[in-house]
Structure 1
Amino acid sequence: MAQNKNNTDLAELLLQCVGQPDPMLSMLEWLCAQLMEAEVSGQVGAGKSERADSRSGYRCGYRPRRLDTRMGTMYLMVPKIRQGGYIPFFVTERKRSETALIQVVQEESRDSYRLLFQSLKERGLTTPQLIISDANLGLVTAIQEGFPGASWQRCKVHFMRNIPAHIPQKDKKFFAAELKEIWLTPSAESARKRAAEPADKYERCFPKAIRCLEDGLEDSLAFYAFPQLDSRKISSSNMLKRLNKEIRRRTSVVGIFLNEEAYIRLVTTYLMEYAEDWSVSRAYLSEDSIQTLLQAVA
């Protein structure tokens, strides 16, 4: 295959990118386009519109695809090949890396959480009365080992999402509506009675979903043992999710940090503001209720 001459005027390209709202993202988008063209030319054995004896396939247009990167979101025009298809190598490599990362996290989550909890205890954290999380096996095991005696609340939101996973899509909506009523009852006993209703009603239709509900129900009712606290705040990890979402939003605005210290500075400043806000104007626990709770537990 003949090698095409690259007549790109880099100075002109640079000026075009500088004039864009995000110059670095524009340059990355151009680079990805060039890499795709070169990869497709190698796969079909010929360049675009090139006549060659080595040709083994043909292009057939483009398809728009979104690609999220650390620099931002790009919309690439991915070349299409008539036979065999084409996926850019930087997409397949990313998927392969993400799969490997998930495996590493699953294998090491227990040890990672144990180290985290040990670090928190070294900084002064004593055993909490209640810990709220999803049912990640490594995390739950680390909680049991790191904080013996602490109550564990399974996040009801995650739990409510786990159960309908065993139900057909057309039935999810009304089933989820009935599930939600369980955790709106005033006591653990009434919640158990409410949970028995869908269990009896759908046991034959959705046995896996009902088994999931029965296996995890008690862990999702731990918050009822703390009536002095706002159940909306301690029955799920939504507060933490919102906090993390705001951190991601603020760091995304900056985009690229000069160094790790700059990132830590931004996040730490926001967390200090967040803690002060909750301790003064948004606190849902009074000092009296906290003292009463601690005395009752003791």
Structure 2
Amino acid sequence: MTAPSIIDPTEFLHEQLSQASPDLLRQMLTTFINTLMSADADSVCGAGWGERSEQRTNTRNGYRHRDFDTRAGTIDVAIPKLRNGSYFPDWLLERRRRAERALTTVVATCYLLGVSTRRMEKLVESLGITKLSKSQVSVMAADLDAQVAEFRSRPLDQGPYTFVAADALVLKVREGGRVVNVHALLATGVNADGHREILGLQVTSAEDGAGWLGFFRDLTARGLSGVRLVTSDAHAGLVSAIGATLPGATWQRCRTHYAANLMAATPKASWPWVRALLHSVYDQPDAASVHAQFDRVLDAVADKLPKVSEHLDTARADVLAFTSFPKELWRQIWSNNPSERLNREIRRRTDVVGIFPDRDSLIRLVGAVLAEQHDEWVEGRRYLGLEVLARSRVTAVPDTTGDSSEEVTSTDTIPALSA
């Protein structure tokens, strides 16, 4: 096989498309790569293929064939040989490693999903790749482990992280010959530039206070700072860990989780109208209206449902913590719903596995998903505007203009300072 030094793109493309064979992309890729290598070899020789020139410094001496694994399949590339010295296309091939980096990711993902080596070989053969060894799979997995470990331990130096959301997912792992539930503790935050970040991932045996305390201590040790609000469910260990590691941060009880808790305390026949009353609280235009409507809800249920009224009154400060921040942010901070898409993506991958063989494989898969999502968030549009973030970081001060001891919210301090 010889690699021509030039091709007519129009004629070549028309010829290939007219054939419309199943290997069209592979054939076209082979031709283009061989043409590029031929042109590169011509520049090394100082003259074109078959051309007589005084500037020639070397001559061709045939070709040596190498298999090159690509996403289009394994192709046969013809590397030009020289009479003096050697030519190797470092811009295309890595010595003793010819697989594309993208292909490495695909095969590593198959490994993560629990696909056996035999099934994986069939999979890559269907993609046109002819060989895959167990050692290659092990190297790919180790490479991915290193990337995930680096991501999980990176410094959190893009703060202050004004808003943080914490959640946990229950997954199944095989340990000691039996299947047990473990908890993947997750935290996301909004950095100083207004972008969301994946802050951390840890896997614990139980979602208890010790697990959450260790998790948040790790986050603060890596640089988590400037937190004004943490949104989560009402897990006692989680709330205690927030208070112990993030002094000055307010806790917002997720409105979605709270609605589920309130439903459990409400008679089934009464839940539709209680739910409607609860939702009316969040539909108010400003903080004062939210608190006034909450009072009306308490009055509406006090006589008929005293236990529901007590439940609401006890949770009031935690459920309405979002009202201390600008109205533009309420939908992003009053619940963990913005993180549901992330949770669904994790579940989509982990459901394929079902039961993980060990914790390392769980961390490898979930960590890879989180690292991928983190990159998308950082490279995408801002989650929150810089101006509203700046207003959110203004410290609330006591209102000394009257007899009331209520505090002025962060949005109200700006005109007071300028007065």
TM-score tier by shorter-chain length is: 0.5 to 0.7
Q: CA deviation at 1:212?
A: 0.5
Q: Which runs of 5+ in 2 are unaligned?
A: 1-115, 117-170, 182-204, 397-419
For 1:137 and 1:264, how far apart are their aligned partners in 2?
25
Contact 1:165 1:209 in 2 (8 A): no
Matched, 1:211 2:291: no
The alignment partner of 2:231 has SS state of strand
Q: Which has the larger radius of gyration?
A: 2
Over 3 Å counting, the alpha-carbon distance change for 1:260 and 1:70 in structure 2 is: closer
TM-score for the superposition, normalised by structure 2: 0.43
For 2:219 and 2:320, how far apart are their aligned partners in 1?
26
Q: CA deviation at 1:110?
A: 1.4
For 1:183 and 1:228, how far apart are their aligned partners in 2?
11
TM-score for the superposition, normalised by structure 1: 0.59
**AA partner of residue 385 (structure 2):** S
For 1:205 and 1:257, how far apart are their aligned partners in 2?
49
For 2:357 and 2:265, how far apart are their aligned partners in 1?
46
Q: CA deviation at 1:114?
A: 1.1
Matched, 1:187 2:267: no
The alignment partner of 2:269 has SS state of helix
Deviates more, 1:272-281 or 1:185-194: 272-281
Matched, 1:113 2:212: yes
Residue of structure 1 in register with 2:24 after alignment: none
For 2:209 and 2:357, how far apart are their aligned partners in 1?
32
Deviates more, 1:217-226 or 1:159-168: 159-168
The correspondence for 1:269, drawn from 368, 383, 389, is: 368
For 1:259 and 1:218, how far apart are their aligned partners in 2?
41
Contact 2:286 2:327 in 1 (8 A): no
Contact 1:166 1:206 in 2 (8 A): no
For 1:218 and 1:297, how far apart are their aligned partners in 2?
18
For 1:164 and 1:261, how far apart are their aligned partners in 2?
38
Tell me the C-alpha RMSD between the 2 structures: 3.2
Q: Pick 1 or 2: higher relative contact order, CA cutoff 8 A, min separation 6.
A: 2
Deviates more, 1:263-272 or 1:195-204: 263-272
**AA partner of residue 139 (structure 1):** L
Q: CA deviation at 1:116?
A: 0.9
**AA partner of residue 386 (structure 2):** E
Over 3 Å counting, the alpha-carbon distance change for 1:111 and 1:255 in structure 2 is: closer
For 2:294 and 2:356, how far apart are their aligned partners in 1?
49
Q: CA deviation at 1:269?
A: 2.8
For 2:235 and 2:362, how far apart are their aligned partners in 1?
28
Matched, 1:175 2:257: no
Matched, 1:163 2:262: yes
1:101-153: per-residue Cα shift (whole Å, max 9, x none)?
xxx847xx112211111111121112511111112222111111111111111
Over 3 Å counting, the alpha-carbon distance change for 1:278 and 1:211 in structure 2 is: same
Counting aligned pairs with the same residue, the percent is 34
Residue of structure 2 in register with 1:15 after alignment: none
**AA partner of residue 338 (structure 2):** M
